Structure 1
Amino acid sequence: MKAKLSRLIKTNEPAPKASVATPDEMEQQKWKDHGGEILTFEGEWCVRIRKTYPLDEVYRDFKFGEAGQMMARTEHPFFAVDLDPDQVLFMDTETTGLRGSGTSIFLIGFARIRAEQLEMIQYVLPHPAFETAFYYHFLQDIGDEVRFVTYNGKSFDWPQIKTRHTFVKSRVKQLPSVGHVDLLHAARRLLKPRLESVSLKAVEAYFGHERTDDLPGFLAPMHYFQYVKERNPEILLPVLEHHHADCLSLVSLYTRLSQLVTTPVTDFGEERAHWLHDLGEQDQALREFEQLPSPSKRAIMRQAMLLKRAGRFEEAIPLFESIHTIEGYVELAKYAEHKQKDVALAMDYTERALEILDQKRTVLRQTMQREKDALEHRRARLERKRT
């Protein structure tokens, strides 16, 4: 009888309630289904997506390992890096706008070479209020000293990161010590004379890496806002694919642009020489100028000036004479007057410069007058010496 009564009591007990997943848990599960990892910090969370590639895998027309080889051997001051390859991050961001304190970053990613593979990592901000977790894990993962390879990242991406970091810096680690290899500057130096635009898309196309079926970058914020509203990661997948391609493209472009300045490609010899000159690498620049088969007047003038600074003016004389410019004749006049002590020759060079000036028709009148005054002053001084 007791056993029967006990069974009756048990059947009348209410069944335990089934646990109901919270909206965050349901969203997190969707990210896990797409290969994401949920990272938490102080009640907030973000998503990390990681993918690896073998270094011998061919991407477009190069192997990922070529970038690491280039980092190890390049001596060009722009492309050289002074850290181990795994501290060099090919980094890009996606933001909710272009400028302003109200603009936030919702996606940061980078590719880096580690051991025998290329690692690609993306960090997703699932909600604008979760920036602390977002930046905490990004900064923890990249370490205390890095070198960024970006495309306009020195002027845009990194300043945006620094701006947003100010809102969370009391709770996360300080920003690392960074250096930049901004490939936009390299593209401008090397490709601007050949391309109407040096946008990332145009430079990719120049190297034969044109994308198809890629989400236009300006649509990324719209996708993000829709994702935040609906909490459905699939809305953001096209943005992740676009951003993923951007980061891998940086690996490719670092390799390709480095090759233009480290291998003897005649077509880019003058661009290389001018760049080295502006970087202060005078010895290397002079060697490049001396090897040009058909240098421009600007290149000849710079070569002659480098020879002058190196104390090799006798070699510079025929170069100054060959370009038939006011600047060249002024240099020759100064040398003839002060070094050769040949006032007549200095006067001849000054007269030639004045003849060129008289023929000018496209120079601003004010600039032309200044040049004329300087040359006439030189001529007057030489006439006094001659008499």
Structure 2
Amino acid sequence: MSGLRDRLARHLKPGKAAAAPEAGAEQRQAELTPEQEQHGPAEGGGPAACPLSESAAGAGGGPAREPAAAPIAEGGAPADARSGSGQADEPAAPAAPAAPALAHPEAAAWAKLDAELYEFSAGSFVRRVRTYPMDAYHGRYRLDALHEHVRELEAFHPEAEPVHAEGLLFFDTETTGLGVGAGNVAFLVGIGYYEAGRFVVEQLFIRHPAEERAMLAYLEEKMKRFTHVVSYNGRTFDWPILQNRFILNRMRPDIDRLLHLDLLHPSRSLWKHSMPSVRLGKVEEAQLGYAREDDVSGAFAPELYVLYLAEGKTDVLRGVFVHNERDIVSLAALSALITRYLADEEPLEPKSPGDLFRLGQWLLKMNRLASAEKILELGFSRLQEQGEEGRAVSGDLLLRYAAYYKKAGVRDRAVELWNRLIRQAGPAAAAPVEAYIELAMHYEHGCKDYALALELSREALDVLRQRRRLLRRSEKAADEERRIAHRIDRLQRKLRDCGKSVSGRKASAKAAIPSKPPGQARPTKASTKPSGKPRPAYAADSLFDVARNPG
């Protein structure tokens, strides 16, 4: 195990765990129970030396520690030794005399992590409780911000019962692996909930597999008063693992009644294309304004648990507990942000046209039609401003806005965006084939201008063949080329049926497409070259001058 410890030494950073005691240590020393005075206070000040929110800690609103020997009602909620406000600077109630938990040889070691050996009717396990006042900040958002618009979460389950903040159970696990099979064990289950004017985080840890049944029995009893589960990728990972563990322990709790709010799905809809990753740590940094320091990655949690099982030292688990605690608090803050988007209360000034489009599309999916239309209109206006300033916009974004307006029946804006995409490409690059095809469909079926639709289809075929010379040929590109060729044949038949020349409208077709910006010459087309024997490909002046005839 020495090799494993050496490999993890870079991530554990033991030197920082023994930092100087935080401010207020003298006050906590006065709150020690008689048993803590006998064994001594926790070394290094425990995980509270790394507050979850610097702003909250500076204001005295950081997490309050639960006394390790506080009496807990069997099967019920933790009996807090503090008043209902949960403020960290309030004096603790008189401690109960001689709690039997500290008599265990490991009790002092777990007390250093602000945890306790918890005795439940089904057995024992390790429990760690942290409480936060409602005015504590996690990044830019207070923990009580969720209460203001919590009913907006009903958009996830419109036909279900009303949502209340006290009915939400924030849920996250640390497991021994990444699969959902029988061999994957959740050795640490973290839950968070609002209770008595504070936010409570409970972490349930098993020292060995024999304690799993007791932990699950406690969790089953705890979940009875909640109506919704809030997680991050929990629908496909954490929750199925928990269900499997109940089955393997021959327990059948009524947990299927809980409605799931998986915040990974709205995070993907909103930020997948604007962020390199939508992992919870990245989302909380970019969207919540909270950056973790000295955080132990969840990928190392299984190895640290194995190291604990081998050596029995609790200090290697400190980072795992703090990481899981931060995940739970981030779920509450991220839920508040999601409700503000649904309530149309989040500022939109700093958002780009791409951010506004994705937000509008997500609101459409959540049936917030009025807000979605307003946000998409704002995004379109900012696209227009960027066009007037001469700034290029992502072609994919222009296509997405055009597709939205096409579906909404606003054809003029869709045509404007397709034409802008063709102009924006310029002579040095080929515009996306989709823009030519969409315009060809518009002029064929909407305007009945078959000649212009034919010219646009030919342009699309030229772009596709030009791209084929640069990229490896694929079956998808071949199918698209056959569809365009079929469209060209159909348009030629329609022109012949109308008694018009197939190639007589080429000049007018070019004029119908808005001209390119001044100073940019049009690329030479193969169709405008004089007739005769074409030059071989190797004799072309450039790659883009290669004849575009098939073959």
Tell whether the 8 Å contact from 1:57 to 1:64 is kept in structure 2 after alignment. yes
- The alpha carbon displacement at 1:176 in A equals 3.3
Match of 1:71 among 126, 132, 150: 150
Q: Which moved more, 1:105-114 or 1:143-152?
A: 143-152
2:184 alignment counterpart:
103
Q: Name the stretch that deviates more: 311-320 or 231-240.
A: 231-240
How far residue 120 of structure 1 moved from its aligned partner, in angstroms, is: 1.4
Residue 128 of structure 1, CA deviation: 0.8
Which position in structure 2 is the counterpart of 1:369?
Answer: 478
CA distance in 2, matches of 1:122, 1:110: 6
Who is 1:13 aligned against?
A: none
Q: Which runs of 4+ in 1 moved over 6 A?
A: 21-25, 229-232
1:87 and 1:142 in contact (8 A); partners too: no
Equivalent pair of 2:166/2:226 in contact (CA under 8 Å):
no
Q: Which residue of 1 aligns with 2:407?
A: 309
Is the 1:39–1:48 contact (alpha carbons within 8 Å) kept by the matching residues of 2? no
Letter aligned with residue 171 of structure 2: M
Deviations 1:1-54 (A, max 9, x none): xxxxxxxxxxxxxxxxxxxx9999615855689453724234x22344333222
Q: Report which of the two has the higher share of helix.
A: 1
Corresponding residue for residue 490 of structure 2? 381
Amino acid at match of 1:98: L
Which of 134, 137, 141 is equivalent to 1:55?
Answer: 134
SS at match of 2:229: strand
Offset at residue 384 of structure 1 (A): 1.4
Gaps of 5+ in 1: 1-20
Distance (Å, rounded) in 2 between the aligned partners of 1:381 and 1:307: 27
1:213-362 → structure 2 map (5 Å cutoff):
213-225=294-306, 227=308, 236-256=317-337, 262=344, 263=346, 264-274=348-358, 276-277=360-361, 281=365, 283=369, 287-292=374-379, 293-294=382-383, 296-324=394-422, 325-360=432-467, 361-362=469-470
Q: Secondary structure at the match of 1:271?
A: helix
Structure 1 residue 121: Cα displacement: 1.6
In 2: Cα distance, 1:232 partner to 1:326 partner: 62
Deviation at 1:225, TM superposition (A): 4.5
2:206 is matched with which residue?
125
Specify whether residues 269 and 87 from structure 1 end up closer, same or farther in structure 2 by C-alpha distance, changes over 3 A only: farther
Q: CA deviation at 1:285?
A: 5.2
User: Deviation digits for residues 68-96 of structure 1, max 9, x if unmatched?
Assistant: 33534578769xx9521122222211222
Shift, 1:218, TM fit: 4.3
Pair 1:296–1:47, CA change in 2 (3 A): same
Give the corresponding residue for 2:104.
26
Aligned match for 2:219, one of 138, 142, 146? 138
Deviation sequence 1:113-172 (CA, Å, 0-9, x none): 23522121222224311222211111221227643333332332122212212112x345
SS at 1:83 equivalent: coil
Does the 8 Å contact 1:91/1:111 carry over to 2? yes
**One-letter code of the match for 1:64?**
L
* Secondary structure at the counterpart of residue 166 of structure 1: helix
Task: State the one-letter code of the partner of 1:104.
Answer: V
For the structure 1 residues 269 and 45, does the alpha-carbon distance in structure 2 shift closer, same or farther, using more than 3 Å as the test? farther
| 1:304 CA displacement | 2.7
Asked whether the 8 Å contact 2:169–2:226 carries over to 1, the reply is no
Q: 1:23 to 1:274 in 2, by over 3 A?
A: closer
- Normalising by structure 2, report the TM-score: 0.56
The separation in 2 between residues aligned to 1:235 and 1:380, in whole angstroms, is 72
Verify the 8 A CA contact 1:190 1:271 in the aligned structure 2. Answer: yes
- Per the alignment, residue 156 of structure 1 pairs with 237
TM-score by length of 1: 0.77
> What is the SS of the residue equivalent to 1:119?
strand
Question: Separation in 2 of the partners of 1:314 and 1:249?
Answer: 44
| SS of residue paired to 2:351 | helix
Structure 2 residue runs without a partner (length 5+): 1-98, 384-392, 423-431, 497-551
For residue 124 of structure 2, what is the amino acid of its counterpart? W
Q: Identity of counterpart residues, as a percentage?
A: 29
> Which stretch of structure 1 is more off in the superposition, 231-240 or 85-94?
231-240
CA distance in 2: counterparts of 1:75 and 1:298, whole angstroms: 32
Q: Distance in 1 between matches of 2:153 and 2:350?
A: 18
Are 1:343 and 1:385, in contact at CA under 8 Å, matched by a contact in 2?
A: yes
CA RMSD between the two structures: 3.8
1:176 aligns with 2:256: yes
> What SS does structure 2 have at the residue aligned with 1:365?
coil
Selected match of 1:40 from 120, 124, 140: 120
Give the deviation of 1:286 after TM superposition.
Answer: 5.3
Identify the structure with bigger relative contact order (alpha carbons < 8 Å, sequence gap 6+). Answer: 1
Structure (1 or 2) with the greater strand fraction: 1
- Write the distance in 2 (CA, Å) between the matches of 1:210 and 1:237: 19
Q: Give the drift of 1:287.
A: 4.5
The residue number in structure 2 matching 1:112 is 193
Total equivalences in the alignment: 365
Deviation digits for residues 187-212 of structure 1 (CA, Å, limit 9, x no counterpart): 44444555544443444444543333
Is the partner of 2:178 in helix, strand or coil? coil
